[in-house]
Amino acid sequence: MTKPKVLISDKMDPNAARIFAEMGCDVDVITGETPEQLIARIGEYDGLAIRSSTKVTKEILAAAKNLKVIGRAGIGVDNVDIPAASAQGVVVMNTPFGNSITTAEHAIAMMFALARQIPEANAQTQAGLWPKNGFMGVEVTGKTLGLIGAGNIGSIVASRALGLRMKVVAFDPFLSPERAIELGVEKADLDTLLAKADFITLHTPLTDQTRNILSRENLAKTKKGLRIVNCARGGLIDEAALKEAMDSGQVAGAALDVFQTEPAKESPLFGTPNFICTPHLGASTTEAQVNVALQVAEQMADFLVNGGVTNALNMPSLSAEEAPKLKPYMALAERLGSLVGQLTRDAVPRISIHVEGAAAELNQKPITAAVLAGFLRVSSDTVNMVNAPFLAKERGLEVREVKTEREGDYHTLVRVSVKTDAGERSVAGTLFNNVEPRLVELFAIKVEADLSGDMMYIVNQDAPGFIGRIGTLLGENGINIGTFNLGRHAAGGEAVLLLSVDSPVPENVLQAACQLPGVKTVKALKFA
Ligand SMILES: NC(=O)c1ccc[n+]([C@@H]2O[C@H](COP(=O)([O-])OP(=O)(O)OC[C@H]3O[C@@H](n4cnc5c(N)ncnc54)[C@H](O)[C@@H]3O)[C@@H](O)[C@H]2O)c1
Ligand SMILES: O=C(O)CC[C@@H](O)C(=O)O
């Protein structure tokens, strides 16, 4: 088996390259390239490991013909075009915890630096000024910290601030009252936080809801003399409004690690008294960089080598332990989805995936994704398990998942049903010996067939001599039959025939089969 190839395109701790190699990947470390150079190179790689410098744009993705996974050694993935990656079926992963403590510590360091004006005092002292009377600081003890965003980093900042004997007021719409109690913080709305806080630290992602959360209007609602720390994302604060608020004295100090535009080579805030900044150093400690490098390499290699999915932002998680158990189910699910897709001509507003017996004990999300991939691939050959759920949503296809733990006729069963104008139609399959996918029901008729390669589907009125006639027709046209699977409602009723054939059935033979007495439907099918 050829080894998966991974490119590390940003400066990353060397442990990442070591782990990739140890886990069976070929790895190249090529950093600092222009987008054009990356476009020329990316086609040969299965994985791309990045920090924040590489911008994974639509153009880069379009050239990444073999790419299967992008791994961000860090948290924010705003440098990756996730919708484009998803549309192309590329998994995007991050390492959500590896640099949280480090970044929280940077926020606390920035808060102290602001409270005691350490950078400026240091600069003037080293300039020989000994400015003993020039710097009057404030204590943090007893002050109120307004925390905007109480996720991983926000909650670590809260615990450190409580240790410093501060009061913490948190605004986070997703923070439950129970979690707020657990963290020891007061949950508040934004206006209350703005009115109470002596210091504000921001810890949210940049979204449409959080962009300019500290806007001109909101800065005007704050306590005079507020100090602000942003180690999350540029864009959370309106920088022009912050400059005005600092000039007017409404805001007594601000410390930014992140800027609206990065790298921030110039800013109206530069040179403002009590303004402190660092060049996006929140995650820059030896410990955090080792953590995220190890984690991203382990996750990406596990995916490329074993099929395990961890911390993906556009696909359900799948442990390396689950992956082998789910593999045969995904093959079954994909074939059932493909069968329904190939046999359904009408518009399908809804698809239901029902797992029963042993299948119900498994993580259903990957099974659903595989059904959708099979179903949608009939109309687009670029569909895979990553982009299928997005494509389904885009097409307005309602997806239902049902689980029945009790066994039915089979110890394990996956049923796929579609709603069409003609009513609900369903197919079902099981695993023989827990590994071999088999179709066992086709539109309410019991059959038993292996869905693979080229096949022919025929619906006819059950009558003596039909099997001989179809065999003769195919034989006369040089088409060899591999397997023959027959099912019917009752003797003389409607029957279905699923034939596996050694070569594709040409259109003229399909037409001729349609003309045979009693034949209602004929269709050529193809499975991977
Ligand atoms: N400066 C750096 O180097 C650095 C390093 C690591 C992370 N970060 C950034 O820090 C931020 C926080 O990271 P995290 O790991 O704590 O993320 P997280 O997902 O654990 O937490 C984010 C929190 O923001 C909350 N939130 C979402 N929308 C909100 C809104 N409209 N108002 C208030 N709260 C809202 C969420 O509920 C969540 O609790 C991210 O933007 C991340 O990219 C920066
Ligand atoms: O990689 C970095 O240095 C920054 C990381 C940080 O912004 C993140 O979101 O994890």
Q: What is the ipTM of this complex?
A: 0.99
- Number of the ligand closest to the Cα of 183: 1
Region of 346 (left: φ > 0; alpha: ψ -120 to 50; beta: rest) is beta
Can you give the C-alpha Rg of the chain in angstroms? 30
Q: Which of 204, 207, 218 to mutate to test ligand 1, by most ligand atoms within 8 A of the CB atom? A: 204
pLDDT score of 347: 81
pLDDT band (50, 70, 90) for residue 394 = confident
CA distance 92 to 72: 8
pLDDT score of 358: 96
Most confident range, picked from 218-222, 374-378, 505-509: 218-222
Tell me, which fold does domain 5-97+287-306 have in CATH?
Rossmann fold (3.40.50)
Tell me, which fold does domain 320-451 have in CATH?
60s Ribosomal Protein L30; Chain: A; (3.30.1330)
Average pLDDT over residues 327-356: 93
Residue 148, token pair as written in the block = 């905007």
Q: What is the pLDDT of residues 474-517, one digit of tens each?
A: 999 999 999 989 888 777 788 999 999 999 999 999 999 999 99
Q: Which position has the higher pLDDT, 462 or 452?
A: 452
Concerning whether 262 is annotated as a catalytic residue, the answer is yes
Run of H or E including 216: helix 216-220
Residue 198's closest CA among 150, 282, 134, 139?
A: 139
pLDDT band (50, 70, 90) for residue 36 = very high
Average pLDDT over residues 379-394: 85
Of 155-164, 317-326, 476-485, the one with minimum mean pLDDT is 317-326
pLDDT score of 494: 85
Q: What do you get for the CA distance between the two ends of the chain, in Å? A: 20
Q: Which of 52, 102, 153 to mutate to test ligand 1, by most ligand atoms within 8 A of the CB atom? A: 153
CA distances (Å), 106 to each of 4, 102, 283, in order? 37, 6, 8
- Three-state DSSP at 329 gives helix
pLDDT score of 397: 92
| Extents of the domains making up the chain | 5-97+287-306, 100-277, 320-451, 452-528
Q: What is the pLDDT of residues 416-437, one digit of tens each?
A: 999 988 789 999 999 999 999 9
CA angle 386, 71, 97 (to 5 degrees): 110
Over 80: is that where the pLDDT of 332 sits? Answer: yes
Active-site pick, 160, 280, 335, 425: 280
pLDDT score of 174: 85
CA 53 to centroid of ligand 1, rounded, Å: 19
CA 303 to centroid of ligand 1, rounded, Å: 26
Q: Which position has the higher pLDDT, 407 or 8?
A: 8
Concerning whether 411 is annotated as a catalytic residue, the answer is no
Percent of the chain with pLDDT over 70: 100
What is the number of the ligand 1 atom nearest to the C-alpha of 174?
37
Query: Does 5-97+287-306 match 100-277 in CATH topology?
Result: yes
Over 80: is that where the pLDDT of 447 sits? Answer: yes
What 8-state DSSP symbol labels residue 122? Answer: H
- Number of the ligand closest to the Cα of 211: 1
CATH dotted code for 452-528: 3.30.70.260
Of 94-98, 114-118, 321-325, the one with minimum mean pLDDT is 321-325
CA 177 to centroid of ligand 2, rounded, Å: 29
Over 80: is that where the pLDDT of 175 sits? Answer: yes
Q: Which position has the higher pLDDT, 408 or 61?
A: 61
Tell me, using a 6 A CB cutoff, whether residue 105 lines ligand 1. no
CA 443 to centroid of ligand 2, rounded, Å: 52
For ligand 2, residues with CB inside 6 Å are 51-52, 74-76, 99, 280, 282-284
pLDDT score of 484: 87
Beta-bridge partner residues of 276: 255
- What's the mean pLDDT when you consider all of the chain? 94
pLDDT score of 87: 84
Average pLDDT over residues 380-400: 87
CA distance 442 to 444: 6
Beta-bridge partner residues of 481: 501
Options 3.40.630.30, 3.40.50.720, 3.40.50.300, 3.40.50.10860; CATH for 100-277 is 3.40.50.720
Of 126-135, 146-155, 175-184, 480-489, the one with minimum mean pLDDT is 480-489
Concerning whether 425 is annotated as a catalytic residue, the answer is no
Q: Which position has the higher pLDDT, 320 or 499?
A: 499
